[in-house]
Chains A and B, each alone.
Chain A
């Protein structure tokens, strides 16, 4: 039985490594900054996910304990990755893109980088 769990764990680790590799390869290959931003937020997510699954399986099958740390890492990753990507994207837009190059916001107010928000109620 040990070999089955080992194969399973090894499979997830190799999968994780592959996705991590492809995500990082995207950083070299893609030409535009906005395209490169897709790499670290995406393919790497699944890569880390696979490694975490492997880690949980290892704790469960080999060490006979239940580990919650991996779930927390997933939670924190899902909280932080989009925020980081959002900040990077905003900085890139401020420095490199003119308002006219973006599609319109389909409302009376423009995008938040260029336009002030409407006055809040009660002010």
Chain B
């Protein structure tokens, strides 16, 4: 596979950095190379948050992403800020609360990530896991088994079932 670069964006506290770590760990469980990095504002909650994951079969040298293959945006602010960094022909995954941007050179998936977490799973904090389920259904970057193992390895004890369901619900958002 070629090097695949993913940018997960939203606001601080949405679990995007954890989401990035889980995705990178799943890739490593699959025997691939992965590098995860992040940038965040000095504030702990609510600021712009961005996690980056690079997955490759080869050595990953430059640790940051300039143009990404896939952009996930959970807020309008993040979508507006990072849309220009999405490659031509890239994939944009946005929450249904985010306005569909005006770009015809990309594939857009507008899906109810936050609503699924809030309404169906009754826990807003699993929105990141719902998003991972959906992303991986679109990309098939890592095996479902490795993704599930990576999720279960990172989440607090007692929330395994909830997170497993979040992955399934995320997958089901892509038809």
Q: Do A and B come from one complex?
A: no
Residues of A within 8 A of B (CB): none
